[in-house]
Chains A and B, each alone.
Chain A
Amino acid sequence: MKRLSPFNITSLTLGFAFLYLPMILLVIYSFNSSKLVTVWAGFSTKWYGELLRDEAFLDAALVTIKVAVMSSALATVLGTMAAYVLVNGGRFFGRTLFSGMIYAPLVMPEVITGLSLLLLFIGIGMDRGVLTIVLAHTTFAMCYVSVVVSSRLVSFDRSLEEAALDLGCNRFDAFRLVTLPIIAPAVISGWLLAFTLSLDDLVIASFVSGPSSTTLPIKIWSSVRLGVSPEINALSTMMIGIVTIGVITASLVSKRKSLNAQKDAQAAERAA
């Protein structure tokens, strides 16, 4: 019989307090009317107004979203292909190198990834801008996508695909009509991961961005280096809010799905 001991309760309470208090305080202080971020001077939403009027921030947000949309879409396609090749591709020349190149970026320090990509772009004379950031983000994000998707593909029953081939599908149609719908949840979570990683990246983007392509993290970074500011608190609160709503919605949807699946299974049992 499992029971939570006082020790368990204390460690959970203190642990989650440690994880959440800094963010909760950040949210509270974003509504502080004082410019001094550590002195409470009454409730106000004026920093949100200032933030939304700040064009530099809006431009950076736009660039960030553009980069994230493009790189996550590319990364999802390439990562799913890579996962399919890794799991079902059989033997081919340089397979070990290929799987090494999939796993290495996951553990590579960002400073090295950023440095090496910048040296490549300079070496081939490519101007730094939105395109170089998209290429960089796609490269590391596709590796995350392929890890997420291949973990689903491993448990996928290949005889379904073989059945489709026997019934006259070509390989591509079999993939599109049979495999893809089954691995879709993993592909979607891979895409979400790629999108978030792109939104979040500071270090790699600092190396490969040009003067006209400042992303939101780079903009936050340059103002945070000067200290805590109420606008950044407001911006952080908005970002935390979006993520919280997104994650909670996703978990509710998946919970409902699994409940429905349970119900279906029960109904099927009764019918049988």
Chain B
Amino acid sequence: MRRFAMIAVPYGWLAVLFLIPFLIVFKISLSDAALAIPPYAPTMKDGFGALLQGLDFENFVFLTTDDLYYKAYLSSLKIAFFSTFFTLLVGYPMAYGMARAPEEWRATLMLLVILPFWTSFLIRVYALIGILSNEGLLNQFLLWLGVISEPLVILNTNIAVYVGIVYTYLPFMILPIYAALDRMDDSLIEAAEDLGCSRMSAFWLVTIPLSKNGIIAGCFLVFIPALGEFVIPSLLGGSGTLMIGKVLFEEFFNNRDWPVASAVAVILLLILIIPIVLFQRNQQKQAEAEG
């Protein structure tokens, strides 16, 4: 009996507050918008027969006819892809430096990477506004140096979105790569060098392949949340920044078109399934290799 309760309580909680809500989203994505409360039709009150008849794929057809939506999906994929790449470019050298740092520094360096993770996400994005705006500290600094004669427009462009994603997701990239590099046996590098590899080629031929799993894990940990990101494009991006999380939010709150917002969510999930499954496989492979 106790075993049953132990399973049933968390199971039931997740079924009611995770699974069913998701099924509702799916159902509403097949409904029609209506000027009613709630603003869609048919509802459960119309009876089961009317419910089944009233559902169709109209909203999904609508998403393909209005090019705002596929542009937003494509632009989200592009922004998530390139910002993951930039995060890797910044994060790998840092993880590498941490793994080579003296033993007594490592705990402190680790703490410095983790600290931003505990700090409010919203505040970290907000901190960038004061730096990147036209009168911001970066422009003031560059003008003072004389590198530029007019302020650079960074805030409210896609560049600011890239900076924002790299800045906020950097710890997610550094930690798995550092974990992989930390486990690596250094004598392998020495062996490669003894066998005539230069420092550079030992790095490319030994270190990079051995940290491959960390790189893959880090990239997925950045790419997956970046794809559905809402706060960064809304605060740092401009009116030209199209990201699907932002489109969904606006469709729901500003246009109050719940069925279309639900259809946008369903497609976003379908797109996300691919990287999520690949990520799971990578994690499993890694767990098997270690175990």
Question: A-B pairs with CB below 8 Å: how many?
Answer: 228
A residues near B214, Cβ cutoff 8 Å:
none
Within B62-108, the residues touching A (CB, 8 Å) are 90-91, 93-94, 96-98, 100-102, 107
B230 contacts A203, CB within 8 Å?
A: yes
Smallest CB-CB separation from A119: which chain B residue? B24
A residues near B15, Cβ cutoff 8 Å:
101
Given A22-B131, A217-B120, also A116-B21 (CB < 8 A): yes
CA distance A170 to B6 in the complex (A): 14
B28: interface (CB < 8 Å) = yes
A residues near B18, Cβ cutoff 8 Å:
101, 104-105, 139
- Least Cβ–Cβ distance between B30 and chain A, in angstroms: 13
A residues near B126, Cβ cutoff 8 Å:
26, 220, 224, 228, 232, 236
Given A22-B131, A119-B258, A247-B114, also A202-B228 (CB < 8 A): no
Please, how many residues of chain A have a CB less than 8 angstroms from a CB on the other chain?
84
CA distance A236 to B129 in the complex (A): 13
A251 contacts B97, CB within 8 Å?
A: no
B41: interface (CB < 8 Å) = no
Partner of A12, one of B11, B44, B97, B224: B97
- Least Cβ–Cβ distance between A11 and chain B, in angstroms: 4
B119 contacts A81, CB within 8 Å?
A: no
B129 contacts A18, CB within 8 Å?
A: no
A111 contacts B90, CB within 8 Å?
A: no
A239: interface (CB < 8 Å) = yes
Question: Which one, A50-58, A84-92, A158-166, is touching chain B?
Answer: A84-92
CA distance A174 to B167 in the complex (A): 46
A111 contacts B6, CB within 8 Å?
A: no
A residues near B170, Cβ cutoff 8 Å:
15, 18-19
A12 contacts B262, CB within 8 Å?
A: no
Given A78-B13, A109-B228, A243-B115, also A224-B25 (CB < 8 A): no
B residues near A82, Cβ cutoff 8 Å:
10, 14
B residues near A135, Cβ cutoff 8 Å:
17
A112 contacts B268, CB within 8 Å?
A: yes
Smallest CB-CB separation from B99: which chain A residue? A2
B227: interface (CB < 8 Å) = yes
CA distance A123 to B258 in the complex (A): 13
B100 contacts A4, CB within 8 Å?
A: yes
Chain A 76-109, CB within 8 Å of chain B: the 1/0 string?
A: 0011011011000100101001100111110111
B13 contacts A172, CB within 8 Å?
A: no
CA distance A25 to B94 in the complex (A): 22
B residues near A97, Cβ cutoff 8 Å:
19
CA distance A65 to B268 in the complex (A): 32
A residues near B94, Cβ cutoff 8 Å:
11-12, 15-16
Given A8-B101, A111-B248, A196-B118, also A85-B7 (CB < 8 A): yes
Within B241-282, the residues touching A (CB, 8 Å) are 245, 248-249, 252, 258, 261-262, 265, 268-269, 272, 276, 279-280
B131 contacts A25, CB within 8 Å?
A: yes
B residues near A102, Cβ cutoff 8 Å:
14
Smallest CB-CB separation from A81: which chain B residue? B10
A89 contacts B167, CB within 8 Å?
A: no
A38 contacts B10, CB within 8 Å?
A: no
A186: interface (CB < 8 Å) = no
Within A191-248, the residues touching B (CB, 8 Å) are 196, 199-200, 202-203, 217, 220-221, 224-225, 227-228, 232-233, 236, 239-240, 243-244, 246-248
CA distance A136 to B128 in the complex (A): 29
B116 contacts A19, CB within 8 Å?
A: yes
B142: interface (CB < 8 Å) = no
Partner of B17, one of A85, A117, A200, A247: A117
- Given A16-B112, A240-B123, 13 more A-B residue pairs with CB atoms under 8 Å apart are A15-B94, A15-B97, A23-B124, A26-B127, A38-B135, A98-B7, A98-B14, A110-B230, A116-B24, A136-B17, A138-B13, A225-B235, A236-B123
B→A interface (CB under 8 Å): 2-3, 6-7, 9-11, 13-15, 17-22, 24-25, 28, 38, 44, 90-91, 93-94, 96-98, 100-102, 107, 109, 111-116, 118-124, 126-131, 133, 135-137, 140, 167, 170, 186, 224-225, 227-231, 234-235, 245, 248-249, 252, 258, 261-262, 265, 268-269, 272, 276, 279-280
A-B contact pairs, 8 of them (CB 8 A): A8-B101, A78-B13, A109-B230, A111-B230, A112-B228, A115-B252, A116-B25, A243-B115
